[in-house]
A = this chain, B = another copy of it.
Amino acid sequence: MLGHHNYGEAEVRLLRVTRGPDRHDIVDLTVSVMLAGAFDVSYLTGDNTNILPADTQKNTVYAFARDGIGSPETFGLRLAQHFVDSQPSIYRARVSLVEYPWTRVGGHTFVRAGGGHRTAAVTYDGSHAWVVAGIVDLALLNSTHAEYTGFIVDRYTTLAPTSDRILAVTVNAQWRYSITTAEPARWHRMHDQARRALTDAFAGTYSRSPQQTLHTLGQALLDAVPEAAEVRLSLSSRHPAVVDLAPFGRDNPGEVYDPTDRPYELVEGAVLREGAPPAGLAWSLLSGV
């Protein structure tokens, strides 16, 4: 018995150059398409009558890029609507985009930057669209203003409470908007506001737990971006270990740390605005199935 199913072209790489008289602009994207629809017969018998090949999806990404990207959100919307509106067998489309940051250092020269990647994911079902924006791999570190006390102690506890520790997290934030149409400049501005809110909230928060930090980041984002209805956050928290220097006759007042790779604490949570509209298909093609 065939259950839910979907397919699409993943990780189409796209560099879009806009050539102005005085300077160039670039957008560096990875675009993934996922489609749901009347594909049962292809799964059951290999009859591809209803299948738009992944290769064609790739071509469509490149052809649509000819008219400009605008913003990841608008480019995703155009693509998602095209797939559903042009093919009767496609009921739902989800277009996911990752934009890699480049910093301008000249009229036509750029250096690849850090600070996390911008993401967007647009879902369209033929009548409604949902837009999610995000930041992934945003690494933040507070060298103080973090404690960890008052937790459960059981027979497997060896961790001592600490009143001053380093909080080093990699943030993945995804927020869904209550709006679905806007000019590219507005999508850019909202994303800038969201990023700044996350960074500022992290800098300004005295952390009693990664959970509390997560909630504070989510609140700050909703405060800064009125169009955001919900934000889902995951924090990968690596606690750099204070190295014991006593065997070498030295103290270590929080100066020398071993920033371990694994394991790490993974903290997840959603923060919603009061009265947020229902999520619909914002988070997944499968929602509401």
CB within 8 A of A5: which of B139, B152, B211? B211
Is A16 interfacial (CB-CB < 8 Å)? yes
Q: Which of A105-113, A121-129, A178-186 contacts B (4 or more CB under 8 A)?
A: A105-113
Q: How far is the CB of A58 from chain B (nearest CB, A)?
A: 6
Asked whether A7 lies within 8 Å of B266 as measured between CB atoms, the reply is yes
Give CA–CA (A63, B25) in the complex, Å: 38
Q: How far is the CB of A225 from chain B (nearest CB, A)?
A: 16
Is A220 interfacial (CB-CB < 8 Å)? no
CB within 8 A of A103: which of B3, B105, B115? B115
Known: A24-B143, A215-B2. A13 touches B263 (CB 8 A): yes
Is A17 interfacial (CB-CB < 8 Å)? yes
Asked whether B14 lies within 8 Å of A268 as measured between CB atoms, the reply is no
Asked whether A10 lies within 8 Å of B109 as measured between CB atoms, the reply is no
Interface centre among A6, A143, A149 (most CB of B within 10 A): A143
Q: How far is the CB of A214 from chain B (nearest CB, A)?
A: 7
Task: Name the residue on B nearest A12 (C-beta).
Answer: B263
Question: Top 3 closest A-B pairs, CB basis?
Answer: A46-B208, A114-B114, A3-B270
Other A-B pairs, 6, CB within 8 Å; known A3-B272, A51-B152: A14-B258, A17-B166, A54-B237, A63-B248, A66-B245, A114-B115
16 A-B pairs whose Cβ atoms sit less than 8 Å apart in the complex: A4-B270, A5-B268, A9-B264, A17-B257, A45-B212, A46-B208, A47-B208, A48-B148, A50-B152, A59-B156, A60-B156, A66-B256, A106-B203, A109-B199, A110-B141, A113-B115
